[in-house]
Structure 1
Amino acid sequence: MGFSAVARVTSDKWIACAIHDEINFGLPVGGELKLETTICNEIRQHQQAVIIDHVDEDENFKGHHTPLMYGFQSYISVPIILKNGNFFGTLCAIDPKPAKLKNPAITGMFSMFADLIAFHMDALDQLDIAEKELKKQQEIAILRDQFIAILGHDLRNPLNAISSSAQLLSRLNLDERGIRIAKIVKDSSFRMNGLIENILDFASGRLGDGITINRTADEDLEKLLVQVIDELQTIWPSRHIKTDFDFKHPVNADGKRLAQLFSNLLANALNYSPADSTIEITAFSTDKEFNLCVANKGKQIPEAAMERLFQPFSRGEVEPNQKGLGLGLYIASEIAKAHDGSLDVTSTPEKTCFTLSIPYKK
């Protein structure tokens, strides 16, 4: 056929979307024809293909105004129906000479191409919808994380005031009830501070390139670990914590971040173990790695929970007094990754152990 086109046909327009012209028909892409002068206008209404081998010999179209106006003898036009059932337009072709178009090969080919065009247009529409939805969700996520970061930052000032006030109260000559209340305030502010730290780290990790670290060539990790133990021991004064440290080689690491990781692991062990049990902590450094293990007795972690333990907002079985956001282990694993290390867990009916391993770097 000398001229073919993909046309958008509406109730008032015929617009060429794509053109193949070998007879100098003269219609460019984007060009329009008067709708009432086209057979496509009729196809829009009945949505059936129209095929003409020879206009002068066709009883239905030999006197039709369209072939007379545009000077063609052979014609084929197939409707393009979108997936939602809406009529888009037509795939049509004309030629000044007669042609044998009414055969399964030709009509099948045109129908197939019309379906492919409809499929492609549906795919483009779906892609456009998906891209808009993705952009919307990304904007929502950024706003949410910004809100979390700002909220966490603004909570720090009043929390610091509460914590300092609790410290001052505990030094006064209080009765037993006053001492107990001051301790509750102190313990609660400590837990809230941990939650805020985790929220800020989670938000900064989502907004940036993950948790950042600042390594020190010869970090005194033993001192930092002892400090964390002392801090948590004030919260759980009756708990027994056993340590076994062996630091023979310096470790290139971010001490503050590792202390944060250790604090999350130790607090987790204290929360999820029996009150009369012992928390066992081992740590050592060799010329190849730094290794830290926090082990506690308690319920075995279910297999289903193990698979998502280091994911944000994921929690295992939670007792009434064990509330949190489920970010502690996620933050700890991200700190391990930032050190090019790994944080793993094993859990049996007898013991649960979280193990940090960081390759030694000079």
Structure 2
Amino acid sequence: DNVSLLTHEMKSPLAAIRGAGEILHDEISDPSLTRFTDNVIHESQRLSDLLDRLLAMAKLEKLESLPARKSRVTISALVEDWQSSRYSLLAEKHLEVSVNDGVLQAEAETLKLALFNLLDNALRFANAETTLTVQVEGDSLTVENIGPAIPDYALDRVTERFYSLPAPGHDKSSGLGLTMVAEIASLHGGSLILTNTNNGVRATLTIPQN
């Protein structure tokens, strides 16, 4: 409750800081000063994204169980939504996305949150000009990328809260994405497992189908 309250209270001043930074950016022509306004805008957006993740995590942790009513969720439709919202990031790295036809019986909103976080993580570490692969088979959903492997020392820690690995060309992440996915898997009575492949990483989200 305290985390939720504090996070909500911080969002308004952060929005004001970002807005002021954007106004200053438009008014300043000196390149040596523009980089400071760019930094204000960039860092305030990073903080805003972190607050959104903290709110989502707090909401999940307050749930003792999911609603009894589950939905048949078409995974390809969720992937399409994610692609639309991450278009510029995908284009920047020239990434393709491959997804098979598959349906999972799950609580729709939390499954969407889990899949979006898995895809964001895969995109973050994917090599340029490669393909992200999403597959549904039985009660398992896998997201796979081509990129650096997870170091052995980190394999058992990547789902810990605030634990994150550096990704080339990216800011340090919040370390909450995979934690939320693991929490969602647990709420569904399932699991999240990350493994290294021959040329990348595979995340397997298992949700028992009733």
Range into which the TM-score falls when normalised by the shorter chain: 0.7 to 0.9
Counterpart residue number, 2:22: none
Offset of 1:241 from its aligned partner? 2.5
Cα deviations across residues 55-88 of structure 1 (Å, max 9, x unaligned)? xxxxxxxxxxxxxxxxxxxxxxxxxxxxxxxxxx
CA separation in 1, counterparts of 2:66 and 2:96? 30
Q: TM-score when scaled to structure 2?
A: 0.73
Correspondent of 2:112 among 232, 241, 259:
259
Do residues 197 (structure 1) and 46 (structure 2) align?
no
Task: Report Cα offsets for 1:264-304 as digits up to 9, x if no partner.
Answer: 111111111222322222234x4xx2x22111122211111
Aligned AA for 1:230? S
Identity %: 28
Distance 1:230 1:159, change over 3 A: farther
Write the letter of the residue equivalent to 2:153: A
Q: Which whole-Å CA distance do the structure 2 matches of 1:327 and 1:266 have between them?
A: 14
Any gaps of 5 or more consecutive residues in structure 2? Answer: 19-36
Which of 134, 150, 163 in structure 2 is aligned with 1:314?
163
Q: Indicate the structure (1 or 2) with the bigger Cα radius of gyration.
A: 1
Shift of 1:209: 4.8
Q: Distance in 2 between matches of 1:213 and 1:333?
A: 18
Q: Any residues of structure 2 matched to 1:155-304 within 5 Å, and which?
A: 155-156=10-11, 189=45, 194-206=49-61, 208-209=62-63, 212=66, 215-238=69-92, 239-247=94-102, 251-284=104-137, 286=138, 289=139, 291-304=140-153
RMSD: 3.4
Work out the number of aligned pairs and report it.
Answer: 191
In structure 2, distance between residues paired with 1:325 and 1:347? 22
Pick the structure with more helix per residue: 2
* 2:60–2:180 Cα contact (<8 Å) kept: no
Alpha-carbon distance, 1:155 to partner:
4.2
Matched, 1:354 2:203: yes
Deviation at 1:161, TM superposition (A): 8.7
| 1:195 partner letter | L
Q: 1:324 aligns with which of 173, 178, 182?
A: 173
Unmatched segments (≥5 aa) in structure 1: 1-144, 164-180
Q: State TM-score, norm by structure 1.
A: 0.45
